[in-house]
Chain A
Amino acid sequence: MIPENVSDLQRCLKETGYICGEETVLTVFLALQLQKPLLIEGAPGVGKTEMGKALSRALNMELIRLQCYEGLDENKALYEWNYQKQLISIQLSRELQKEHLSENDLFTEEYLMERPLLKAIRADQKVVLLIDEVDKCDHEFEAFLFEVLSDYQVSIPEMGTTEARNIPVVILTSNSERELSDALRRRCIYLYLDYPSPQREAEIIKQRHPQVGEELAESVSRAVEVLRRDEKIQKRPSIAETLDWVNALVELNRNELSPTLVENTLNLVLKSHRDQQVFHQETGAHKLLEQV
């Protein structure tokens, strides 16, 4: 169930392995209390999607995920009739010379295929609805979406209006590749997630890899921060990449960073040839470790 105060929520999130600042938790807490969708924006890899997953674990609710893409329409997001099943029923009724099927018989629960939005609205228990990368869907779908999100009800012409049994916890994420409409924004509580501070990232590392020493966790997080600060690097390392790097170091049984080790494992955090070249030309492993 929904925690009663911010520190409870922070504790619940931490238990699921999601470590974040007080401001982030407070914003999530307000979204939960005000029963408003939470719109999370930020660079790729800062933990936007993970927030939805962590929240479902922390609140012990089912996670329903809708992945957005260009061309996504109501049929794939809300509901669709199972045409094949309807056809088979019609054919069977003819073949077996049963009573003639009326239209009402064909548009019932039996033939309705729930898609994520309808599933979230009709769920018996409160669920977490994660609408991922909402900036990828097109304007028409976005307009449709904010209607659903403001009233938490949908109309199925053949069956009537369905109201939400339990208002879901809605998390929308966006990479800001396309500007979202003001109408959608104003219906949400807004959270901008930035990369974590080196201290927080070290905490995340220790949470995920308890066997990692404090010194290694801190030096890795500071090294990643130096790379992220470098404006010439195009693809900044995400938290997941930091964890991959640590994982590799653990596998290699290393408990401190050395220039050779950095050189040999750099491809785990810098994932383009250009970025690696920039790193070698501008910084280099020795200089990086001096700054750590």
Chain B
Amino acid sequence: MEELKDRLEDHLVRFTDMLRKQGVKAGTSELQEALLALRYIDPLCKTSFKSALKATLVKKPSELEVFEKTFNRYFVPATEKEKQLEKGWEKEANYREKKKMAEEELKFKEQQLNLKEEEKMVYASLASRDREKIKSFIRDSEQGKKVDASFKPLIESLVKSTLRYRKERVSHVERRPEPVTGDPGWDWMLSSPEPGNNSSASRLLNSDFKDIAEKDIPRVVELSRKISMKLAKILSRRYKLTYKKKKLDMRKILRENISYGGYLVKLKYGHKKKKKLRLLVLGDVSGSMDRYSSFVMTFIYGLSWAVKEVECFVFAEGTSRMTSCFKKGLSFEEVMNRVMQKRVEWGKGTNLAQALERICLDYPGWLNSRTLVIVVSDTRTTHLEDSLQKLQFIKSRVKDVLWLNPLPASQWEEFSSVEKFQHSALMYPCSCLADLEEVFRYNMKI
């Protein structure tokens, strides 16, 4: 019995650790609580056991899915668990093999090309005919006169742009799951979707905008509507004034205390009238950025229900005003369609400087402490120094500048522009609806 108890405790510690590594905030006290809770239930009854752990280890709705998934994979018979782990390891081996193949095939003058892991996997996902084309391009380049190893960066850059172009056309690029448990087998196992839960709202909430399939777009737009309307509802609520950090209002105090014979019994506080917020949105729509900007703008359309003044612009090589797409009474689908239709007018390159310049020249009235500027871009732009200067100028005049960057935070250090823009804006990784909700909740104090 003692042995069984020890084993159960060991498993519980390991299980809690796994939850923790996936972002569930289960500390030692929660673990102790879970162990204590097991005293009051029959630990051999799986339903009770699961409910007891859920009640004590999970503290937020967002953690429920992680818990369910991890529990359903962890607390299974040993043989099944081994089978699942084996599958995970097979996937890992397959992934490594593909990566190795890409590394071996993409060599210039016997030296490996310096490519990112994702680029290698794009290459591995291509049809053999397309792979052959890239290989023959490298081979032909090697044959050129006076071509030596110093040409490698140029070849790398050309291969990278080919892969970037191909990536848009490949249906699926394998991605290694984020290392959370330290065991790749477990990581693959936990990253696989729950059976029968393929189109759950939470999956769509956390899906990168660029990976959302066409058929799922209406559902994502609907989810976006729900979230933004919920935030708008909270924003528009007229809260009762609190008594904190306010100045005493002597006039009001005297009036209030007349009924107490002039004794100052009740204190009254003055308050500053809150200025209404305005949103100025600048969305980058060059290349693959258009999807992110379209979703962000549709989301902001929902907020415009509470934030009366919103101005939206999209920029690539030129800038267009999009506020006209936000006509009141339109459905979210209509707004999304209008924004998406505008895509054809947008160029491929990015010039943030000219967009900022246009704001400064044509909308100087918007550059004041009531305005919150939101930039949606991956920071890759021409005229970088000019853009930085203009952004600094705008930042000094407005309430704040939020920068929604669709690049994952782990990749930020690869781009010097990210660091530079971070000096003038509060930058957040934002590639899915869940990120968007978090950023707005946090920054608008919702």
Residues of A within 8 A of B (CB): 6, 22-23, 26-27, 29-31, 33-34, 36, 39, 41, 69-71, 73, 83-84, 87, 91, 138, 140, 176-179, 182, 185-186, 188-192, 231-232, 234
Contact = CB atoms under 8 A, between A and B. Distances in A.
Nearest to B48: A26
8 tightest CB-CB pairs across the interface, nearest first?
A: A71-B240, A185-B59, A70-B239, A27-B55, A23-B51, A26-B51, A71-B242, A83-B265
A20 to B, nearest CB: 12
Given A71-B243, A192-B61, 6 more contacts: A26-B55, A31-B55, A33-B40, A83-B266, A190-B54, A234-B229
A186 B37 contact: no
28 contacts: A26-B55, A27-B54, A27-B55, A30-B52, A30-B55, A31-B55, A33-B37, A34-B33, A34-B36, A34-B37, A34-B40, A36-B33, A69-B240, A71-B241, A71-B243, A84-B260, A87-B265, A177-B234, A185-B25, A186-B25, A186-B29, A186-B30, A189-B56, A190-B60, A192-B64, A232-B222, A234-B226, A234-B229
B40 A29 contact: yes
Contacts of A73: 242-243
B258 to A, nearest CB: 13
A223 B241 CA distance: 42
A58 B260 CA distance: 45
A27 B66 CA distance: 19
Nearest to B239: A70
Contact of B59 (A30, A70, A190, A232): A190
Contact of A231 (B30, B219, B230): B219
Nearest to B438: A179
Given A27-B51, A33-B40, A69-B240, A178 B60 contact: no
A87 B40 contact: no
Interface residues of B, number: 41
B1 interface: no
A255 B115 CA distance: 70
A70 B33 CA distance: 32
B335 to A, nearest CB: 15
B51 A22 contact: yes
B426 interface: no
Interface string B226-242: 10011000100001111
Interface string B6-28: 00000000000000000001010
Contacts of A34: 33, 36-37, 40
Interface string B40-60: 110000011001101110111
A84 B242 CA distance: 23
Contacts of A36: 33
A231 B220 CA distance: 11
A182 B25 contact: yes
B76 interface: no
B446 interface: yes
Contacts of A186: 25, 27, 29-30, 59
A30 B40 contact: yes
Nearest to A177: B234
Interface of B: 25, 27, 29-30, 33, 36-37, 40-41, 47-48, 51-52, 54-56, 58-61, 64, 219, 222-223, 226, 229-230, 234, 239-244, 260-261, 263, 265-266, 441, 446
Contact of A182 (B59, B222, B265, B441): B59
Contacts of A190: 54-56, 58-60
Contacts of A22: 47-48, 51
Nearest to B55: A27
A87 B51 contact: no
Contacts of B239: 70-71
Contacts of A232: 222
B399 to A, nearest CB: 21
B327 to A, nearest CB: 17
Nearest to B30: A186
A178 B242 contact: no
Contacts of B60: 185, 190
B441 A179 contact: yes
A138 B51 CA distance: 31
A191 B37 CA distance: 14
B56 A30 contact: yes
Contact of B55 (A185, A189, A234): A189
A140 B244 contact: yes
Nearest to A182: B25
Given A26-B52, A179-B441, A188 B261 contact: no
Nearest to A22: B47
A185 B48 CA distance: 22
Contacts of A33: 37, 40
Contacts of A70: 239-240, 242
A188 B241 contact: no
A30 B59 CA distance: 15
A190 B30 CA distance: 11
A29 B234 CA distance: 34
A190 B24 CA distance: 13
Given A186-B30, A234-B226, A87 B260 contact: yes
Contacts of B40: 29-30, 33-34
A26 to B, nearest CB: 4
A138 to B, nearest CB: 6
Given A70-B239, A73-B243, A176 B226 contact: no
A178 B445 CA distance: 9
Given A26-B41, A232-B222, A138 B234 contact: no
A182 to B, nearest CB: 6
A231 B222 contact: yes
Contacts of B36: 34
Contacts of A177: 230, 234
A4 B237 CA distance: 44
Given A23-B47, A29-B40, A87 B261 contact: yes
Contacts of B41: 6, 26, 30
A196 B33 CA distance: 28
A270 to B, nearest CB: 16
A83 B265 CA distance: 7
